[in-house]
Amino acid sequence: MPPAESEMVAALGSLLALDRVLAGSAVQRAYDCDAYTVDRSAPTCVVLPISTEEVCAVVRWCIEQGVPYTPRGAGTGLSGGALAALGGVLVSTKRMTSVLEVDVPNRCLRAQAGAVNLHLSKAVANDGLHFAPDPSSQTVSTLGGNIAENSGGPHTLKYGVTVQHVLEVTMVGTDGEVVTIGNCVPGMPGLDLLGVVVGSEGTLGIVTEAWVKLTPNPERVETALASFGDARGATETVAAIIAGGTIPAALEMIDEGCLKAVLAAFPLDVPADTKALLLIECDGSTEQAKTEIANVVETCEKQGALRVDVAKDERERTKLWTARKKGIGAMGRLAPTIVTHDGVIPRSKLPEMLDFVYEVAREHGLGVGNMFHAGDGNLHPIFYFDDRQEGKIDAVVAAGEKVIAKCIELGGSASGEHGIGVEKSDLLKLMFGPEDMRLQRDVKSVFHTSGLCNPCKVIPDQKGCVEHMRRWRGAAN
């Protein structure tokens, strides 16, 4: 029998400090999901360690007592990765926020896992450097969460996802031992264990610290906002820009559904009949950025853009980014619940895929807007609905599954950046054959000795997971 709540709090309190162990119904309610609110499962308690040693002590206690535990950063994940699927202890890195070392000559820094993404760039802003992965949640999401999800962002198109910017991680393994994986010297020999850990969604251990690469700030950034009379015109332009030989730093799209929400919430100067926007950024040397943006503007105009605005200064650049940066918040005003899906398709299939998304939303009686990393073919349909209405949760789950199945049918992937979590754990088999799944299970079992670390995520291997899954959805209704 696992220990009762009061015993758990007392034992963990003696390992950390009592005020860093949270329990009770309000805490359980506050921590029962992440930003994917369809599935919910409450932890028994939440701990707030401040060091690798404290994380180690908590994990060892959980192993001794047979208590499941789940790592959690800011809880902005969009696939249910940070919910405590089988209850137990939620290990929050919220208090582990320090930037520990900055090595400017070697362009890298070491930080604790709970450091907020944007704070890493702020720490080295005066050195003309930044941490390139920039998920749109970067003002709150943590380094540990970014590593676990292998997060992308608007600038992934040019700069790559998180795994390309992590050099070394310190992790408390599932046996309670501290391991260091990777090395500050890039391109080390041996198997790429860092590549296995980054993107493993907290199922292989708890990352407590990491060394990450720093990227020089570009000499110049040019930003354009192109308005189109229909979504198809915008999606076809995405493929045309890349086919024309320019790889922008960012190439984001906002469709009519999102634009309506943005226009209702913020002033935005776009032509009256705009149905889709492309936000395009080119950077590098002054000459490179200017040449690339000129090519992009020409392509947009040839493809029939209603208008293309190019920012003249930083103030105008911020204005052009408004719709993209504030879009999700604006969508939140349309209905009590929004669910953001994440799939990938080849860029050339974007027009067909968007038409499919609109059809699925109609079929299931859901509102939808799309705001996404179009240059990567990384689609984010945002379904909005009232989850108090009978059947809406089932409808949004069914719609999401259809969208993902279509992405895979079109030669894409079940996730571009939000991970698999609990949301898509039973969809992986659409992408991978039995042999591939067996290999993934085998690799996981090498790390996962106790079966207690973040159970039921990505590759669920406990019998209890299916039963619990039904309960989570029930709780959401």
Ligand X SMILES: Cc1cc2nc3c(=O)[nH]c(=O)nc-3n(C[C@H](O)[C@H](O)[C@H](O)COP(=O)(O)OP(=O)(O)OC[C@H]3O[C@@H](n4cnc5c(N)ncnc54)[C@H](O)[C@@H]3O)c2cc1C
Residues that bind ligand X (CB under 6 A): 34-35, 70-78, 81-82, 93, 113, 135-137, 141-142, 144-146, 148-149, 151-153, 201-202, 206-207, 328, 417-418, 454, 457
Cβ-closest position to ligand X: 145
CB contact at 8 A, 69 and 178 = no
What does the buried/exposed string (b/e) look like for 395-422 if buried means 16 or more CB atoms within 10 Å of the residue's CB? Answer: bbbebbbbbbebbbebebebbbbbbbbb
Backbone angles phi, psi at 291, to 5 degrees: -65, -45
CB contact at 8 A, 15 and 54 = yes
Q: How many CA atoms within 13 Å lie on the side-chain side of 458? A: 19
Mutual angle of helices 350-363 and 392-409, in 10-degree steps: 160
CB of 194 to ligand X, least distance (A): 13
CB of 136 to ligand X, least distance (A): 3
Q: How many CA atoms within 13 Å lie on the side-chain side of 399? A: 31
Residues of the chain by 3-state class (helix, strand, coil), percent to 5: 40, 20, 40
CB of 91 to ligand X, least distance (A): 8
CB of 143 to ligand X, least distance (A): 8
Taking the least distance from each CB to ligand X, the nearer of 36 and 297 is 36
Taking the least distance from each CB to ligand X, the nearer of 220 and 444 is 444
CB of 157 to ligand X, least distance (A): 12
| Tokens linked to 154 | 């608007």
Taking the least distance from each CB to ligand X, the nearer of 382 and 431 is 382
Instruction: Using the Cα atoms of residue 371, residue 403, residue 145 and residue 2 in order, give the sign of their dihedral.
Output: positive
| Tokens linked to 11 | 């034992």
Taking the least distance from each CB to ligand X, the nearer of 75 and 87 is 75
Taking the least distance from each CB to ligand X, the nearer of 128 and 329 is 329
Taking the least distance from each CB to ligand X, the nearer of 241 and 250 is 250
In whole angstroms, how large is the CA radius of gyration of the chain? 22
CB of 243 to ligand X, least distance (A): 24
CB of 151 to ligand X, least distance (A): 3
Paired strand residues for 211:
110, 168
Query: Which is nearest to 375 in space by CA: 255, 275, 235?
Result: 235
CB of 430 to ligand X, least distance (A): 21
CB of 123 to ligand X, least distance (A): 17
Query: Which is nearest to 232 in space by CA: 322, 305, 297?
Result: 305
SS3 254: strand
CB of 425 to ligand X, least distance (A): 12
Q: Would you state the torsion angle of the CA atoms of residues 440, 446, 452, 457, taken in this order, to the nearest 10 degrees?
A: -10
Taking the least distance from each CB to ligand X, the nearer of 77 and 400 is 77
Neighbours of 244 (CB within 10 A): 12
What does the buried/exposed string (b/e) look like for 141-160 if buried means 16 or more CB atoms within 10 Å of the residue's CB? Answer: bbbbbbbbbbbbbbbbbbbe
CB contact at 8 A, 166 and 145 = no
C-alpha to C-alpha distance for 269 and 272, rounded to whole angstroms: 9
- DSSP character for 163? G
Backbone angles phi, psi at 432, to 5 degrees: -115, 140
Give the start-end residues of each E strand in 353-430. 367-372, 378-379, 381-385
CB of 89 to ligand X, least distance (A): 12
CB of 306 to ligand X, least distance (A): 27
C-alpha distances out from residue 361 to 117, 341, 365, Å: 33, 12, 6
Taking the least distance from each CB to ligand X, the nearer of 280 and 306 is 280
Taking the least distance from each CB to ligand X, the nearer of 28 and 76 is 76
Paired strand residues for 72:
92
Taking the least distance from each CB to ligand X, the nearer of 214 and 382 is 382
Taking the least distance from each CB to ligand X, the nearer of 32 and 149 is 149
Taking the least distance from each CB to ligand X, the nearer of 14 and 164 is 164
